[in-house]
Amino acid sequence: MLLTLTFRGADYTVELPALSESDYEAARATITQELARPEGEVKNRDAICSAFLTLVRRAPNENPSDLWHQVVYRLYCEILPKTRQQDPKQSWVRASGDALELFLEQWYGPILQPHGISIIALIGRAKKRDTLTRFGIGDKVGDSKLDVCLAKIITDDAQIPFGGVHVKASLAERISDDIPCSRALQRKGFLSPLWTLDIKSFPPPHGDLVNRGELGSPDAPSEKRKYVEIHGDFDNCYTANTRSIASGPKTRSAKRIIVLNLANQPDRFAQDVIAAAKARRH
């Protein structure tokens, strides 16, 4: 499918070869229906998450990062003002981060649950603060510096956290702010991966709108790649941008950039989470 994007009064096209017109219209219908419901029933973040889930399920061979960046974002900005009369760009900044965390919970939950693992989006400062306290680092890091909790299911009423996931659509989202929390988790022996869509594109006249991300390559690494490959600030970086360049077999820190295939589950993120849960004692 060719999408027409308007930038500064000019039209440009972006190709999403594995996305069909019917897939696109299904996402449009999903986000329209969700945003048409009362905000007390469906929050903006839920509408974004639902649209993204629709697309990833219907177009499993399309780049997930492009689906978020080129489709969900633009549909949201088009439809939100018609349904809830809100500024779409400001709303996206507030709601999209939570939406991506909810996506991880809903996408990986059915994959991890049979292995006795729960994955929980930490929406709201209170939930984040309580989880950091359970990790024993609540007094060491800010209460907004963890996005998703991984826990072993002991009984219906008891779970033991063993890891926290740092979730970023774009690595421009001050990922350096998450490093103190990640290091504190690692020092306590907890799993602390980074999960990202690695979104970054440049508009004309200096760019071609292709979403290549910000990680660079092993031979020409960005500072954000160095956080993982050199400094080991996170227990691997899992990227759902198929244009991201994976690490070589060895890195200085032994931590790696891993490109995910969401259509092939359990993917490497899920496999590594399952292995970490099995390796950790209660």
Q: Rounded distance, CA 166 to CA 269, Å?
A: 13
pLDDT digits (tens, 9 = 90+) for 259-271: 999 999 999 999 9
pLDDT(190) > 90: yes
Q: Does any domain span residue 98?
A: no
Residues 74 and 132 both lie in one domain: no
Please give the average per-residue pLDDT across 103-131, as a whole number. Answer: 96
Closest C-alpha among 156, 227, 231, 160 to residue 194? 227
Residues 130 and 67 both lie in one domain: no
Question: DSSP class of residue 172?
Answer: T
Place of tokens 């329209």: 32
Residues 182 and 248 both lie in one domain: yes
Please state the pTM of the whole predicted model: 0.95
Residues in the chain: 282
pLDDT digits (tens, 9 = 90+) for 194-242: 999 999 998 887 888 899 999 999 999 999 999 999 999 999 999 999 9
Residues 259 and 131 both lie in one domain: yes
Q: Does any domain span residue 102?
A: no
Coil, strand or helix at 202: coil
Closest C-alpha among 54, 48, 59, 151 to residue 101? 48
Residue type, 173: E
Residues 160 and 265 both lie in one domain: yes
Q: What is the pLDDT of residue 211?
A: 95
Please give the average per-residue pLDDT across 174-200, as a whole number. Answer: 95
Residues 143 and 187 both lie in one domain: yes
Q: What is the pLDDT of residue 282?
A: 63
Residues 84 and 132 both lie in one domain: no
Q: How much is the mean pLDDT over the chain?
A: 93
Residue 243 contacts residue 62 (beta carbons within 8 Å): no
pLDDT digits (tens, 9 = 90+) for 83-116: 998 999 999 999 999 999 999 999 999 999 999 9
Q: Does any domain span residue 103?
A: no
Residues 265 and 136 both lie in one domain: yes
Q: What is the pLDDT of residue 8?
A: 65
Residues 269 and 155 both lie in one domain: yes
List the domain range (segments joined by +) for residue 88.
2-93
* Tokens representing residue 27 in the block: 């996402």
Which range of 102-116, 148-162, 168-182 scores highest in mean pLDDT? It is 102-116
Q: Does any domain span residue 122?
A: yes
Q: Is 42 exposed, middle or buried (0-12, 13-18, 19+ CB in 10 A)?
A: middle
Residues 87 and 144 both lie in one domain: no
pLDDT(38) > 80: yes
The number of distinct structural domains making up the chain is 2
